[in-house]
């Protein structure tokens, strides 16, 4: 009887011990058996659902461009000079208000709409008008300082050739069409690019922008798509000379704010974000949308941050060190796309600075949601219009500088010359067309018009003939 009870007790103890050992071993065995299930999805989910507040940095991140700017170099005169009245009281026939005296020694140098420029007519039957500054009495041509100055070819030929470059024809193709030497075409491109870069700098400043989308596109990607080069070859080439085109656009006005080319590095992200900040009005902090490239976070934090002293945790002890924190009004979200075989399989939104709610609210003002569709559309048109980006780099533009020049030309062409379909405005009164076609219903608008930088669609001839003043002119003049 006693043996029976002892046996039962022992059996129970053994059973309990077995159950305990099984229970302990179970969770330890689990990871080895479950290794095939995808694990990385877990942390991203928790990160997005419970956003941790940004702790701040102990150092302000370094931006090379910021340090260069602090050097003095701005020579904009403070106040414009008095108006010069028209001689003999005779009303002027030719509008010279957009012209300025090009001579640095002249008091009126660089100022427009000061009445100091007189039109003289065409000396010895030249195609270009001669102008005279009444302050310093010197003569100059109306093409002074433009790519058309001193050219012996007909102006139309140069304008068409540059237009063909802006529309996406390569340098060699343009040389064949216009029966010219490719080096001459390259020379024209270089001059046109310098000119359009100056024109962009002149018009794009102190902008008030509510949103900015940033993106980088790779110059060889389309060649891979078209099957012209293999993936392996493309990657090998890219590792040798990576060509990333950096693009910033305001999705509201479709204005291309900045275009640049360089590596996909923090240094380049800093330089690019810096170039975007330069054209914004002081105090303007837009909403930023980018892809998942992590260096944007640092670059935006560098340029939209300030030192904040965190509150003291205890009543006594030393004050905590100040932290470099994003400005409270800075909103920044990333659109992270997961690809499988070049197809988007998942789109994930990540609020980096500011909450997703505030970001969604800002976008809702335009009836939008978080997306980078606008910039992707622009990337496509850049591929179509910039030969070196869209195709294999086989033209004379095989170096970075060549692509940079085509981008500078395209920057102005896109902003000032190309009406954007989504920006067009209905006409109050439909206008009849010259032919027998239907009436004109819409007023075409360019991004520059939508942004209030221009009142009409520019022709490329106008762009190339525009004498860019050396500094921004006050509006009231």
Task: Summarize as ranges the residues that interact with Zn ion (CB under 5 A).
Answer: 101, 106, 108, 133, 135-136
Closer residue to Zn ion (CB): 81 or 396: 81
Closer residue to Zn ion (CB): 115 or 354: 115
Q: Work out how close the CB of 470 gets to Zn ion at its nearest, in angstroms, rounded to a whole number.
A: 13
Q: Work out how close the CB of 82 gets to Zn ion at its nearest, in angstroms, rounded to a whole number.
A: 14
Helix axes 182-203, 400-412, angle to 10 degrees: 50
Of 367, 463, 366, 370, whose CA–CA distance to 414 is shortest? 463
Angle at alpha carbon of residue 43, lines to 38 and 48, rounded to 5°: 125
Q: Work out how close the CB of 141 gets to Zn ion at its nearest, in angstroms, rounded to a whole number.
A: 14
Closer residue to Zn ion (CB): 133 or 449: 133
Q: Let me know: does 279 contact 207? Beta carbons within 8 Å.
A: yes
What backbone torsions phi and psi does residue 426 show, to the nearest 5 degrees? -70, 140
Q: Work out how close the CB of 115 gets to Zn ion at its nearest, in angstroms, rounded to a whole number.
A: 12
Closer residue to Zn ion (CB): 100 or 416: 100
Residue 352 class from Cβ within 10 Å (0-12 exposed, 13-18 middle, 19+ buried)?
buried
Q: Work out how close the CB of 476 gets to Zn ion at its nearest, in angstroms, rounded to a whole number.
A: 22
Q: Work out how close the CB of 112 gets to Zn ion at its nearest, in angstroms, rounded to a whole number.
A: 12
Closer residue to Zn ion (CB): 101 or 359: 101
> b/e for 204-237, b at 16 or more Cβ within 10 A?
beebebbbbbbbbbbbbbbbbeeeeeeeeebeeb
Closer residue to Zn ion (CB): 94 or 106: 106
Q: Let me know: does 287 contact 212? Beta carbons within 8 Å.
A: yes
Closer residue to Zn ion (CB): 133 or 175: 133
Q: Work out how close the CB of 138 gets to Zn ion at its nearest, in angstroms, rounded to a whole number.
A: 6
Q: Work out how close the CB of 80 gets to Zn ion at its nearest, in angstroms, rounded to a whole number.
A: 14
Closer residue to Zn ion (CB): 108 or 304: 108
Closer residue to Zn ion (CB): 144 or 404: 144
CA-based radius of gyration for the chain: 31
Q: Work out how close the CB of 109 gets to Zn ion at its nearest, in angstroms, rounded to a whole number.
A: 6
Q: Work out how close the CB of 107 gets to Zn ion at its nearest, in angstroms, rounded to a whole number.
A: 7
Find how far residue 138's CA is from the centre of its chain: 40
Measuring CA to CA, how many Å separate 269 from each of 9, 214, 292? 73, 10, 13
Measuring CA to CA, how many Å separate 422 from each of 1, 11, 253, 443? 96, 82, 9, 11
Q: Work out how close the CB of 472 gets to Zn ion at its nearest, in angstroms, rounded to a whole number.
A: 20
Q: Let me know: does 79 contact 105? Beta carbons within 8 Å.
A: no
Separation CA 191–CA 342 (nearest Å): 39
Separation CA 318–CA 295 (nearest Å): 33
Closer residue to Zn ion (CB): 110 or 447: 110
Separation CA 100–CA 133 (nearest Å): 8
Closer residue to Zn ion (CB): 103 or 358: 103
> b/e for 251-270, b at 16 or more Cβ within 10 A?
bbbbbbbbbbbbeeebebbb
Alpha-helix runs per DSSP H in 88-230: 155-166, 171-177, 182-203, 221-225
Angle at alpha carbon of residue 52, lines to 299 and 43, rounded to 5°: 95
């Amino acid at each position: 009887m006693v043996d029976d009870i002892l046996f039962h007790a022992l059996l129970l103890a053994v059973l309990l011990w077995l159950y305990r050992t099984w229970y302990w071993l179970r969770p330890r065995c689990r990871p080895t058996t479950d290794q095939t299930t995808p694990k990385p999805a877990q942390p991203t989910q928790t990160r997005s659902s419970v956003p941790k507040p940004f702790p701040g940095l102990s150092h302000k991140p370094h931006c090379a461009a910021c340090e260069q700017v602090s050097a003095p170099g701005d020579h904009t005169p403070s106040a414009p000079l008095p108006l010069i009245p028209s001689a003999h009281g005779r009303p002027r026939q030719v509008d010279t208000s957009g012209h300025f005296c090009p001579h640095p020694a002249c008091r009126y140098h660089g100022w427009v709409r000061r009445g100091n420029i007189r039109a003289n007519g065409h000396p010895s039957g030249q195609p270009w008008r001669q102008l005279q500054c009444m302050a310093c009495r010197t003569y100059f041509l109306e093409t002074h300082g433009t790519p058309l100055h001193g050219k012996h070819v007909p102006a139309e030929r140069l304008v068409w050739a540059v237009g063909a470059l802006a529309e996406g024809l390569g340098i060699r193709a343009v040389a064949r069409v216009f029966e010219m030497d490719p080096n001459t075409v390259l020379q024209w491109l270089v001059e046109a690019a310098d000119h359009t870069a100056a024109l962009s700098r002149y018009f794009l400043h102190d902008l008030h922008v509510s949103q900015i989308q940033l993106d980088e596109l790779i110059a060889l990607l389309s060649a891979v798509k078209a099957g012209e080069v293999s993936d392996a070859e493309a990657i090998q080439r890219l590792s040798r000379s990576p060509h990333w085109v950096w693009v910033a656009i305001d999705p509201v006005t479709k204005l291309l704010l900045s275009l640049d080319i360089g590596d996909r590095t923090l240094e380049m992200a800093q330089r690019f974000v810096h170039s975007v900040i330069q054209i914004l009005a002081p105090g303007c902090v837009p909403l930023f949308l980018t892809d998942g490239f992590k260096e944007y976070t640092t670059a935006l934090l560098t340029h939209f941050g300030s030192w904040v002293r965190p509150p003291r945790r205890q009543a006594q002890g030393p004050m905590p060190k100040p932290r470099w924190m994003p400005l409270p009004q800075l909103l920044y979200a990333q659109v992270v796309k997961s690809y499988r075989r070049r197809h988007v399989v998942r789109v994930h939104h990540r609020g980096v600075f500011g909450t997703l709610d505030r970001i969604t609210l800002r976008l809702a003002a335009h009836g939008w949601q978080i997306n980078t569709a606008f910039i992707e559309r622009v990337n496509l048109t850049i591929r179509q219009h910039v030969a070196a980006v869209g195709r294999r780099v086989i033209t004379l533009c095989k170096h970075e500088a060549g692509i940079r020049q085509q981008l500078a030309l395209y920057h102005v062409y896109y902003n000032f010359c190309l009406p954007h379909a989504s920006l067009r405005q209905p006409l109050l009164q439909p206008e009849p067309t010259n032919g027998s076609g239907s009436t004109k219903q819409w007023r075409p608008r360019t991004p520059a018009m939508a942004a209030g930088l221009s009142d009409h669609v520019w022709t490329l001839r106008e762009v190339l003939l525009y004498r860019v003043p050396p500094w921004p002119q006050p509006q009231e003049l």
